[in-house]
């Protein structure tokens, strides 16, 4: 079986761009959100630009998480020097080609080097033959003898322009150490260097997920489909996933997948022509009767074994029924679909006063929406290795206060997909880490829509947080009635568990809850045993639990008791009271609300 990807005539005019020697070139590209580096310090020696922010030094190879690993043999020791493209020893047969940025780029042209960044190179291979994406990334589209290049990358939801020189790491033989391209094309090596600069070093690019590579190069929303689960009761429906990737292929979406299964020996992967813990581009999916196959390519351009399903340049066909055994997930990048976009940046606040991560959304025609929320850490865009996954949540409220959509997760990002009718909505972006860790990380918000919309900041009181989660509980409609007008409402999404007590009776109650035995969760109350006074005709989100460690399973165990109270010995049971007391950081989350209201 074969799938021919025919080469397109190259629409790019390959010529020397001498205008780069002009100061006018230093203005930002019209598509750029902001510039990564100031250009006032540019120095050009002997007509070659030298980047003062990312010089050719060992630290920019081996630095990781703020430390320099001088004994890193895999990276540092193998780099003999940094040279200009004119000094590189290219592969056999490349001599007939001139140095160019592009020369009819093709997925098979890109070869991963001695760096474990297959998550990025597999995504780069996918956009190699999509000019409207690749040329948007490579602002400098022609070979520049001055050695100055501009690259545009999307860093956690926000586009940045990175300025680099053309010095590249090589071996003793002057061959490229890291990613290279056939036909003496420079785009892959330059884009990789720009990413290394953005994240402090080449070493910082080791390890990642397919979704991150696709987000970085396209800025488009992505969906990750798990092919198997550790919970036998939650195994994904592979027929539904197959239908989804067939549909995605027809729409022209980009797809990649990660080979991983700790239950299989490395030799089992090699026998199938696969590398384990490796990202693959999905080039095609086909079905002929009951036969379903997926066409894959390794960014390393290699295959481990010959077979009837193997081609060349790291390409092979994989039977769909075997995908879930060898691959953990499939990432779908939804390019071309969402024409309208808005991007915002800010800083999370706790729930004690004004909440600034609130946005009004006006959709005059309705729309299909993809809303992405990213952890931007301390706001410096070169700290990929320093930023841990944090708790993130998104809630979309309708104009009447009801919950339109809700998403919760522990990751560097979350994506919420929803379809809205014409009208006005509120987007609440937040993080329970402001309560769990008393930190206030920065965030980036990206909204993608199929129809036009407006998005504006709308700072709100901290009560909005409690209102929003009460609306989430009503939407979940998971209610346990205890009689006498007393109910407990619960909701859960990907590790975010909420518990609301609704007291519709005419009497104040004492609610005693015990969550001892729950595992791998933070409590917003800083304890697992609570006693709360819930006045008549009120409701309260009395506990919120969020995932502590992403790689571990969660278990919630609880017991609930309540006791009606009368006014005894002059004690006022009208006012809500909590033991332990609500912390100031969580005040808006746990505020008591009248029960008759809709939110």
Tell me what pLDDT residue 383 has: 52
**222-333: CATH number:** 3.90.70.10
Tell me what pLDDT residue 111 has: 93
Cα distance between residue 591 and residue 599, in whole Å: 12
CATH class entry, domain 340-460? mainly beta
Residue 44 clears pLDDT 60, i.e. is over it: no
Return the closest-CA partner of residue 576 out of 523, 503, 484. Answer: 503
Burial code (b: 16+ CB inside 10 Å, e: under 16) for 501-533 equals: bbbebebbbbbebebeebebbbbbbeebebebb
- How many CB atoms are located within 10 Å of the residue 381 CB? 19
Residue 305 clears pLDDT 70, i.e. is over it: no
Domain 475-594 coded CATH 3.40.50 = no
CB 501 within 8 A of CB 543: no
Residue 134 clears pLDDT 70, i.e. is over it: yes
Tell me what pLDDT residue 71 has: 45
CA dihedral angle for residue 28, residue 29, residue 33, residue 34, rounded to 10 degrees: -20
Residue 331 clears pLDDT 90, i.e. is over it: yes
Residue 221 clears pLDDT 60, i.e. is over it: yes
Q: Are strands 478-483 and 367-377 parallel, antiparallel or unpaired?
A: unpaired
Residue 37 clears pLDDT 50, i.e. is over it: no
Residue 212 clears pLDDT 80, i.e. is over it: yes
Q: Which of 304-313, 426-435, 563-572 has the highest mean pLDDT?
A: 426-435
CB 227 within 8 A of CB 241: yes
Band of pLDDT at residue 444, cut at 50, 70 and 90 = very high
Mean pLDDT, the chain, as a whole number? 86
Q: Where are the beta strands (DSSP E) in 84-187?
A: 110-111, 148-155, 158-165, 168-170, 180-181
Cα distance between residue 54 and residue 197, in whole Å: 6
- DSSP, collapsed to helix, strand or coil, labels residue 102 as coil
Tell me what pLDDT residue 230 has: 76
Residue 28 clears pLDDT 50, i.e. is over it: no
Q: Please, how many CA atoms are within 13 Å of residue 144, restricted to the half-sphere of its CB? A: 25
Tell me what pLDDT residue 233 has: 77
Band of pLDDT at residue 379, cut at 50, 70 and 90 = low
Burial code (b: 16+ CB inside 10 Å, e: under 16) for 206-223 equals: eebbbbbbbbbbbbbbbb
Return the closest-CA partner of residue 332 out of 247, 411, 405, 408. Answer: 247
222-333 and 340-460 in the same fold: no
Band of pLDDT at residue 598, cut at 50, 70 and 90 = very low
Contacts for 413 with CB less than 8 Å, ≥ 6 apart: 156, 157, 215, 372, 373, 374, 375, 392
Is the model more confident about 336 or about 587? Answer: 587
Mean pLDDT of 212-238: 91
Tell me what pLDDT residue 393 has: 97
What confidence tens digit (pLDDT) does each residue in 521-532 have? 999 999 999 999
Mean pLDDT of 505-520: 94
Residue 570 clears pLDDT 60, i.e. is over it: no
- DSSP, collapsed to helix, strand or coil, labels residue 457 as strand
Query: Residues in the chain, how many?
Result: 599
Q: Where are the alpha helices (DSSP H) in 315-443?
A: 320-326, 433-436
Mean pLDDT of 338-366: 96
Tell me what pLDDT residue 380 has: 54
Tell me what pLDDT residue 32 has: 32
Is the model more confident about 36 or about 170? Answer: 170
φ/ψ (deg, to 5) at 251: -85, -5
- Is omega for the bond preceding 580 within 30 degrees of 0, making it cis? yes
Instruction: Give residue limits of the domains in the chain.
Output: 18-206, 222-333, 340-460, 475-594
Among 303-307, 309-313, 438-442, 449-453, which is the least confidently predicted range? 303-307
Tell me what pLDDT residue 29 has: 33
CB 82 within 8 A of CB 168: yes
How far from chain centre, in Å, is Cα 7? 32
Tell me what pLDDT residue 301 has: 77
Mean pLDDT of 36-47: 48
Q: Are strands 486-493 and 43-45 parallel, antiparallel or unpaired?
A: unpaired
Burial code (b: 16+ CB inside 10 Å, e: under 16) for 160-195 equals: bbbbbbbbbbbeeeeebbbbbbbbbbbbbbbbbbbb
Cα distance between residue 494 and residue 476, in whole Å: 14
Band of pLDDT at residue 15, cut at 50, 70 and 90 = very low
φ/ψ (deg, to 5) at 389: -65, 140
pTM greater than the 0.85 cutoff: yes
């Amino acid at each position: 079986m074969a799938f021919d990807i025919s080469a397109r005539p190259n629409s790019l005019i390959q010529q020397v761009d001498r205008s780069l020697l002009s100061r006018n070139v230093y203005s930002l590209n019209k598509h750029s959100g902001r510039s990564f580096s100031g250009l006032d310090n540019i120095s050009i020696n002997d007509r070659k630009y030298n980047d003062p922010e990312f010089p050719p030094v060992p630290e920019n190879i081996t630095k990781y998480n703020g430390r320099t690993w001088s004994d890193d043999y895999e990276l540092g020791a193998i780099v003999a020097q940094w040279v200009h493209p004119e000094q590189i020893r290219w592969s056999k047969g490349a001599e007939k080609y001139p140095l160019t940025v592009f020369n009819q780029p093709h997925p098979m042209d890109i070869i991963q080097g001695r760096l474990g960044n297959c998550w990025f190179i597999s995504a780069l291979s996918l956009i190699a033959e999509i000019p409207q994406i690749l040329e948007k990334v490579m602002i400098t589209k022609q070979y520049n003898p001055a050695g100055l290049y501009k690259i545009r990358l999307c860093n956690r939801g926000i586009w940045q322009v990175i300025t680099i020189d053309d010095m590249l790491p090589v071996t003793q033989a002057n061959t490229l150490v890291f990613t290279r391209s056939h036909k003496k094309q420079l785009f892959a090596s330059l884009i990789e260097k720009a990413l290394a600069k953005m994240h402090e070093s080449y070493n910082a690019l080791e390890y990642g997920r397919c979704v991150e590579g696709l987000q970085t190069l396209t800025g488009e929303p992505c969906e990750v489909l798990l092919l198997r689960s550790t919970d036998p009761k939650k195994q994904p429906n592979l027929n539904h996933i197959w239908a989804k990737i067939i549909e995605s292929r027809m729409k022209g979406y980009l797809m990649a997948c990660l080979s991983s299964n700790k239950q299989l020996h490395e030799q089992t992967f090699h026998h199938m022509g696969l590398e384990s813990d490796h990202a693959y581009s999905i080039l095609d999916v086909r079905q002929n009767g009951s036969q379903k196959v997926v066409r894959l390519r390794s960014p390393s351009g290699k295959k481990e074994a010959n077979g009837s399903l193997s081609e060349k340049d790291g390409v092979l066909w994989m039977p769909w029924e075997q995908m879930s055994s060898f691959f953990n997930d499939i990432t779908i990048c939804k390019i071309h679909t969402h024409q309208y976009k808005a991007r915002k940046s800010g800083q999370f606040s706790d729930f004690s006063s004004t909440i600034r991560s609130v946005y009004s959304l006006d959709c005059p025609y309705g729309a299909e929406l993809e809303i992405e929320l990213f952890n931007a850490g301390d706001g410096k865009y070169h700290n990929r290795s320093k930023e841990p996954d944090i708790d993130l949540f998104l809630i979309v409220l309708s104009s009447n206060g009801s919950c339109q959509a809700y998403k919760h997760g522990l990751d560097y990002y979350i994506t919420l997909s929803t379809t809205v009718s014409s009208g006005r909505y509120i987007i609440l972006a937040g993080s329970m880490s402001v309560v769990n860790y008393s930190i206030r990380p920065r965030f980036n918000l990206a909204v993608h829509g199929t129809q036009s919309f407006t998005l504006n900041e709308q700072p709100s009181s901290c009560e909005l947080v409690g209102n929003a989660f009460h609306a989430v509980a009503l939407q979940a409609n998971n209610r346990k009635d205890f009689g006498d007008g007393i109910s407990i409402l619960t909701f859960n999404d990907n590790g975010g568990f909420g518990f609301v007590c609704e007291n519709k009776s005419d009497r104040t109650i004492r609610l005693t809850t015990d969550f001892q035995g729950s595992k791998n969760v933070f409590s917003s109350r800083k304890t697992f045993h609570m006693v709360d006074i819930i006045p008549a005709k009120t409701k309260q989100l009395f506990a919120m639990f969020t995932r502590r460690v992403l790689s571990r399973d969660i278990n919630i165990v609880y017991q609930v008791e309540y006791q009606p109270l009368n006014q005894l010995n002059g004690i006022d049971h009208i006012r809500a009271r909590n033991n332990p007391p609500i912390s100031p950081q969580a005040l808006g989350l746990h505020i008591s609300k009248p029960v008759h209201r809709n939110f």
